Chains A and B, each alone.
Chain A
Amino acid sequence: MSEIKKIHDMLASKQISCKELTEKYLSAIESDNAELNAYVNVTPDEALKQAEKVDRRIADGEEIGLLEGVPMTLKDNLSTKDIETTCCSKILTGYKPIYNATVWEKLQSEGAVMLGKTNMDEFAMGSSCETSYFGGATNPFNTKYCAGGSSGGVASAVGANIAPYGLGSDTGGSIRQPASFCGIVGLKPTYGAVSRYGLIAYASSLDQIGPITKTVEDASIVFDAISDYDPKDSTCQGRKGAKTFDTVNNDIKGMKIGIAREYLEGVRDDVKEAVLNAVKIYESLGAEVVYFDMPALKFALPVYYIIACAEASSNLGRYDGIRYGYKAEHYNGTHDMMCRTRSEGFGAEVKRRILLGTYVLSAGYYDAYYKKAQNLRGTIVKAFDEAFTKCDFILAPTVPMTAFEMGHAVSDPIETYLTDICTVPVNIAGLPAVSVPCGFNANGMPIGMQLIGNKFSEATILNAANAYEKAAPEKFKETKWGVKL
């Protein structure tokens, strides 16, 4: 059952006022956030103001939309006018944007109630949320573990019921991986299905905004609301075709599921077992399974890091202490001011990626790294094109393991890079993928699997994911936290 629909029905039937509902969430945040560290900025005044507006409309007997009055949260790399937006970096502390991200405009026009901005790895660079300037978000299933990253705050908040849903961004797995770690649903849309305008860029050719939700139906509802053509983003085409919600409950009999063997290599046994169990459930639902090889995937990880870091090194050049954000206190001359501001304002992981990006673009290395990686990107795109001639979607683990313990990921950055192996190919090829819970390990930590679709086939993967959710509801577990409705 969709969480959003449930809340909508309660509001529409006046079981609870929007103000009461919002207050419930705000007080749950107040009590739970200290341990979860999901929110970095709670905005009760704005939330209650919007809630009262919705209540007035309900009182006036007006019909409210599905998302109207439903509380939610935004990852802190989405630009919100007059509300501090930091990317969880020291370098953007105090920055209050003068414009809204397109997705936020869209959700505002739907009447959404934003509770606050959520935690993330600094500039979305990380897999555990721990590179955040504000410290990492913890996992609602066990706070000794991280929520994952980079959209760890949204995943932690949704997993802990201190937000019904949220928007994250996914450059190399940053929606799917934390959703997988926190036992919830995360949709990374097709590149170009959702406007990036107002998403503070990490790697422009890979970044996409998407929903992190409790259920697949919720992901479908939110995706339909944010996926639209935007004249402000040259790469945005919007959703192609009907609303995904129209077909999310369709029968999946006869659907062809592809399994690329490379996705199962090096995957921890418990994760592999959970994914293969899901395959069995799909077969019981009448889907067919085809196995094939995709050797091009072997190069996906270095291709991803080269391209992402190259673009990041350019995207992050603008933080120079002149127009916004942090500025070094002591310096001597403009050049020195810029260098000090950046050296003091960026964390270690961000600096590493800027340096790597600069390296692969610099004279003498461009051809060997950046250009080669671009060519290989084309090869990976083609490999997926071919795969989709054999199946309707590809099923794979989201992450080769379950959530890391807090502190583990930052101790060995390169080992952590390797854990992105299953998520990055989707970003390289610009494909949609949804991560759904598919089991638990021996410690009770969630395992996730992802359904990867062809471009602009969100409807197909959401339909298939929803069929699984209905067939295996026990994989979607509540945690002890937050609001109980």
Chain B
Amino acid sequence: MVTKQDVENIAILSKLFVAEEELDDLTRQMQEIVEFADAINNAPDSGEEFDNINNLSNVFREDVVVESLPSEEILKNAPEQAEDHFLVRNHN
């Protein structure tokens, strides 16, 4: 059973605001989706752990420096920047 409290908690973890008027609707939807997901509880569990899809291992990069990008490029899409830093103003 998904409760309003559950939805509020996962919204905080997800960094999302849920407006008071949305909460009932969203809780109901979440409950429906979770019920749908609950179908897996009827599945026989082999208990075997799944590794990765192609069973790949040891894919590495060598420790060789490649020149970084200039800070103008790095900051190019920043909504706000100052003194070569990404900037988060406290208020806006």
Contact = CB atoms under 8 A, between A and B. Distances in A.
Direct A–B contact in complex, judged by CB atoms less than 8 Å apart: yes
A223 to B, nearest CB: 18
A465 B9 CA distance: 49
Contacts of A379: 43-44, 46, 48
A321 B80 CA distance: 9
A378 B48 contact: yes
A359 interface: yes
A358 B13 contact: yes
B45 A355 contact: no
Contacts of B15: 317, 320, 335, 338-339, 342
- Tier of interface size on chain A: 35 or more
A326 B79 CA distance: 7
Given A98-B77, A329-B92, A359-B6, A351 B46 contact: no
A222 interface: no
B42 to A, nearest CB: 8
A441 interface: no
Interface string B39-61: 11111111111101110100101
B82 interface: no
A356 B54 contact: no
B43 A299 contact: yes
B37 A378 contact: no
A191 B16 contact: no
Interface stretch (A4-12, A142-150, A277-285, A365-373): A365-373
Contact of B40 (A306, A323, A343): A306
A302 B50 contact: no
B86 A235 contact: no
B40 A369 contact: yes
Interface in A69-111: 94-96, 98
Interface in B18-51: 26, 29-30, 32-34, 36-50
A320 B77 CA distance: 13
B5 interface: no
B10 to A, nearest CB: 4
B43 A376 contact: yes
A372 B14 contact: no
A237 B56 CA distance: 9
Interface in A202-243: 205, 231, 234-235, 237
A343 B48 contact: no
B26 to A, nearest CB: 7
A377 interface: yes
Contacts of A321: 79, 88
Nearest to B75: A323
A331 B10 contact: no
Contacts of A327: 79-80
Nearest to A98: B73
B86 A323 contact: yes
A433 to B, nearest CB: 15
B40 A302 contact: yes
Nearest to B37: A302
A322 B53 contact: no
Contact of A339 (B17, B26, B37, B45): B17
Contacts of B16: 339, 342-343, 346, 351, 354-355
B50 A98 contact: no
Interface centre among B26, B76, B80 (most CB of A within 10 A): B76
Interface in A152-202: 191-192
A310 to B, nearest CB: 11
Nearest to B88: A334
Interface in A332-350: 332-335, 337-340, 342-343, 346
B65 interface: no
B91 A360 contact: no
A352 B43 contact: no
Contacts of A356: 30, 33-34, 37
A313 B92 contact: no
Interface string A242-279: 00000000000000000000000000000000000000
B29 to A, nearest CB: 6
Contacts of B29: 352, 413-414
B79 A322 contact: yes
8 contacts: A235-B52, A235-B54, A235-B59, A301-B39, A321-B88, A327-B80, A356-B34, A377-B50
Which 4 residue pairs are nearest across A and B when measured between Cβ atoms? A324-B77, A327-B79, A378-B50, A430-B53
Interface of A: 94-96, 98, 191-192, 205, 231, 234-235, 237, 296, 298-299, 301-303, 305-306, 313, 317, 320-335, 337-340, 342-343, 346, 351-352, 354-356, 358-360, 362, 368-369, 372-379, 381, 413-414, 417, 429-430, 455
Given A299-B40, A346-B16, A417-B33, 15 more contacts: A98-B73, A235-B53, A306-B37, A322-B88, A354-B16, A355-B26, A355-B30, A358-B14, A360-B37, A362-B10, A362-B13, A374-B50, A379-B46, A414-B36, A417-B36
